[in-house]
A and B are shown apart, each in its own frame.
Chain A
Amino acid sequence: MMRSGPCSDPRSASASNPTESDRRLMNDLATTADQPLAGKPSARRSLASKAARGLMRLLPGLALLGFWQWASGRWIMETYVSKPTAVAARLYELFASGEIYPHLWTTGQELVLGYVIGVAGGIIGGYMLGRSPRIASIFEPYVMAFYGIPKIALAPLFIIWFGIGIGSKIALAAIMVFFLVFYNVYTGVRSVDRELANLTLVMGANQRQLTYHVYFPAAAPYVLLGMRMAVPYSVIGVIVGEFTSSIQGLGLFIREASATYDPAGVFAGIVILLVFVAIANFLAGRLERRLLRWKTLTVAAPNDI
């Protein structure tokens, strides 16, 4: 499943369905043959349709919240599931009293550091093994073997090694992120067309320029896919680490809320985690759109008709 590459990503799959404006663009290109394209599809219309689509997306979520609010206390006991208004109140209280900030700070640090270390390690390792078949043939079996270990099972071990502070959580998140990013980068680098690389060398590139102009851009879709897939894994790593043993953090907060029969507190913690993931996804998406502009344009290729 790791080897399937960026094409397996559901979002890029949906991008291959040309929208109305894309189809118009294709026709333009096809009919005006060798003439540069004039004008772009109107930006205002696409903005309006975007807003409409956003609203449509909100509806199911709102419906779910409404149902939760209504059913809580009627169908299911509130002590089990709490209810949206209670969760909101609890969230407000947590932030107003400042009670949550130390937990936020700790978990935030663990997430960011674990993610960054894991991504950096994955990119470096994947790139090195991808570029050198000799190193790859030595290390690949080991990496494969380690990949098979459920990383969660390492949590108790990491607590022993790195203590109950943030170190063990960073290590756990980093190792989960590392393997995901590593495999994607490794696949991406190995997918680079040999002929294209040779061509670039003949054009006058040295190894550094080859890396910068060919390997990085060619592997970028894989790197970014790995980075996006790794976001939830870093959260799992950190939270499991905190569940296992910790002095501070959202995982600990959630566990304590559960121990004191405070479902609103549990949900409040989960909501905060959700926000973390949403922000990270948003940033990753922005990065992806900026770096892969050339890829999203493929839809408009006239020779695809």
Chain B
Amino acid sequence: MNDAVLSFSGIRQEFPAPGSDVGIRVIDGIDLDVGHGRFVAVIGPSGCGKSTLLQMAAGLLMPTRGTVHHRGRAIATINREVGFVPQQAQLFPWKTLAQNVELPLLLRGVGADERRERVAAALDAVGLSGFDHYFPSQLSGGMQKRGSIARTLVYRPDVILMDEPFGALDAQTRMVMQNDLQMLSRDASATVLFVTHDITEAVLLADNVAIMSQRPSKLLANIAINLPRPRNVFEPFKNPGFEDAYDAVWTVFRSQIGIRQQPH
């Protein structure tokens, strides 16, 4: 087909409506390619099916119509070559931080010595060295999120799927995490599909911003963001060209979120 790592083609999704035989169409034909090493952000109004797209990429949900291909292979079962970072950190509360990060390696049959090394390296990368033996309940929200990211990075998945990973964090932690993610994904030259509500976040982090319409949703635009890297996530407007890029996305997006006109 093409050289995209992840490719959605002709995706439609219907869900059974409560108390009715006919399904409700949520996604109405989406085509989207995620190229190797690219960081693609998906934005769209609430309920338009962003999380649903990620579920399909992970093989947890089969689209009603259309196919998702991962490196040319149609996804038909759980896709173990992706990593999933959910909105809530979802660490295993009964495992320590190190055991949490270790689990994907354990499940994939990596040897004990290598596991220890890679866990240490992953925790170090997200700035959590020394917290190995802490249980998630002993970590702050931001630290849990870092743990969740370390648990995904540790097995070097081919594609990282992130579902509003920083949505629940406070503004400061969020900026720090965005900065870290920018560095980490660049160092790992990772392919990332990143769902968010936040236009600023999308523009700051992504190489491409895909904009979805309200449901039944279509892809309104896929805008390339050609800002130089590394980008300053702490002062977005200091990035040369940020304003134009933001405007380009906002112009498309504003039509979808019914704003009341202010009479002057």
Contacts and interface: CB of A to CB of B under 8 A. Distances in A.
Interface stretch (A7-15, A65-73, A209-217): A209-217
A165 to B, nearest CB: 42
A270 B140 CA distance: 50
A199 B94 CA distance: 15
Interface in A218-269: 218, 220
A301 B138 contact: yes
A298 B143 contact: no
Contacts of A196: 90, 92
Contact of A303 (B60, B83, B141, B155): B141
Contacts of B90: 193, 195-196, 199
Contacts of B82: 202
B19 interface: no
Given A204-B80, A217-B94, A297-B135, A209 B107 contact: yes
B137 A301 contact: yes
A203 interface: yes
B260 interface: no
A204 B108 contact: yes
B131 interface: yes
Interface string B113-151: 000000000000001001100010111110100000001
B189 interface: no
B130 to A, nearest CB: 4
Contact of A198 (B60, B107, B140): B60
Interface in B131-176: 131, 135, 137-141, 143, 151, 155
B138 A203 contact: no
A202 B60 contact: yes
Interface string A293-305: 0110110111100
B101 to A, nearest CB: 11
A202 B84 contact: yes
Contact of B137 (A36, A199, A204, A297): A297
Sort chain B's interface into a size bin.
Answer: 20 to 34
A99 interface: no
A300 B59 CA distance: 37
Contacts of B139: 302
B104 interface: yes
A175 to B, nearest CB: 31
Contacts of B5: none
Nearest to A213: B103
Given A209-B107, A218-B94, A294-B93, A203 B155 contact: yes
Interface in A29-61: 29, 34-36
A34 B127 contact: yes
A201 B108 CA distance: 11
A205 B80 CA distance: 9
Contacts of B141: 303
A10 to B, nearest CB: 21
Contact of A36 (B103, B131, B140, B155): B131
Contacts of A35: 130
B262 to A, nearest CB: 39
Given A34-B143, A214-B92, A199 B138 contact: no
B104 A203 contact: yes
Contacts of B92: 196, 213-214, 217
A29 B135 CA distance: 13
Nearest to B94: A217
B46 interface: no
Given A193-B90, A214-B92, A294-B93, A203 B107 contact: yes
5 contacts: A198-B58, A199-B90, A204-B80, A213-B92, A302-B139
Given A198-B84, A302-B140, 14 more contacts: A201-B80, A202-B83, A202-B84, A203-B83, A203-B104, A204-B104, A204-B108, A205-B107, A217-B95, A294-B93, A294-B135, A294-B137, A297-B137, A302-B139
3 closest A-B pairs by beta carbon, nearest first, are A204-B107, A36-B130, A217-B94
Interface of A: 29, 34-36, 193, 195-196, 198-205, 209, 213-214, 217-218, 220, 294-295, 297-298, 300-303
